[in-house]
Amino acid sequence: MDCDLTTVARAIADPTRSAMLLRLMDGRRHTARELADASGVSPSAASPHLRRLVDAGLVSVHVMGRQRLHVLASPQVATAIEALAAVSPLLPVESLRTAHAGSRLQTARVCYSHLGGALAVSIARRLEADGALDDLDHPLLAVLGIRDLSGFAGPRMRTCTDWTEQETHLAGRLGSALLAALLDRDWLRRRPRDRALNITDAGAAQLAALGVAAVPAGNL
């Protein structure tokens, strides 16, 4: 007996559902209206798409009071989406707004539980070049307060191919710890309507001082 790839493939193979899945890659729970906005359809049109994703085991629904919140069903789903993104062509740029959004995603974004984009690749390069991936002994990790990874789930560290940079960034517990610390120290800030992250002026300065190339906030 083999696995049935077609069930999952059919669920993903729709632009609306693909957009919803990519929005959910920020690792947060979203209402149907939020996912409708992200995919460019009405809330009523979004409902059957969300049911399809739930039925395929890609999305879970959590009821909180009157709200039904949607989230990726598991870290394995997020890993699969990342892998597909790495071998998928980029969407065409059809407006200045789309170009700006794509630039922000390329610079820094949330990849479910860890950091993605050019900044993530730059951090991975720096830590690898300095031999800090095994013992967590590095000025950047010290400043961010990352001493152990016990508070995070998953493997200690894994690498995955960044779909915009076509180089590897860090996932696993180390990747999660980096994202959490960068947000906690306000070096990065979440955006309200997508999974791109803004690099603050303070964050760009601190990262540069630690040998990590970053794009200043004014250029995003």
| Residue numbers of the domain that contains 17 | 5-73
Q: Are 153 and 175 in contact (CB under 8 A)?
A: no
Backbone angles phi, psi at 161, to 5 degrees: -75, 125
Same domain, 61 and 95: no
Structure tokens at 22: 């990519």
146 alpha carbon, distance to own chain's centre: 20
78 belongs to a structural domain: no
120 belongs to a structural domain: yes
168 belongs to a structural domain: yes
The pLDDT of residue 100 is: 52
203 belongs to a structural domain: yes
Same domain, 193 and 91: yes
Same domain, 66 and 89: no
pTM of the model: 0.85
- Quote the crossing angle between the two packed helices 32-39 and 43-55, to the nearest 10°: 100
The pLDDT of residue 214 is: 67
Same domain, 111 and 207: yes
Q: Look at the chain and report how many structural domains it folds into.
A: 2
The pLDDT of residue 57 is: 95
- As a whole number of angstroms, the distance between CA 84 and CA 89 comes to 10
Write the pLDDT tens digit of every residue in 162-187: 988 889 999 999 999 999 999 999 99
- As a whole number of angstroms, the distance between CA 137 and CA 154 comes to 21
Same domain, 106 and 174: yes
Residue 10, domain CATH: 1.10.10.10
Helix, strand and coil content of the chain, in percent to the nearest 5, comes to 50, 15, 35
Same domain, 105 and 192: yes
Same domain, 67 and 89: no
Backbone angles phi, psi at 69, to 5 degrees: -105, 135
Of 73, 108, 124, the last residue of a domain is 73
The pLDDT of residue 148 is: 87
Of 24, 39, 73, the last residue of a domain is 73
35 belongs to a structural domain: yes
Residue with the two structure tokens 């152990």: 148
Write the pLDDT tens digit of every residue in 68-78: 999 999 999 99
Backbone angles phi, psi at 204, to 5 degrees: -60, -40
Residue ranges in the chain modelled with pLDDT below 70: 1, 92-102, 214-220
Buried/exposed code over 165-187 (b: 16+ C-beta within 10 A; e: otherwise): beebbbbbbbbbbbbbbbbeeeb
Structure tokens at 189: 């800030």
Same domain, 100 and 66: no
Rg (alpha carbons) of the chain, rounded to whole number: 18
Of 73, 107, 125, the last residue of a domain is 73
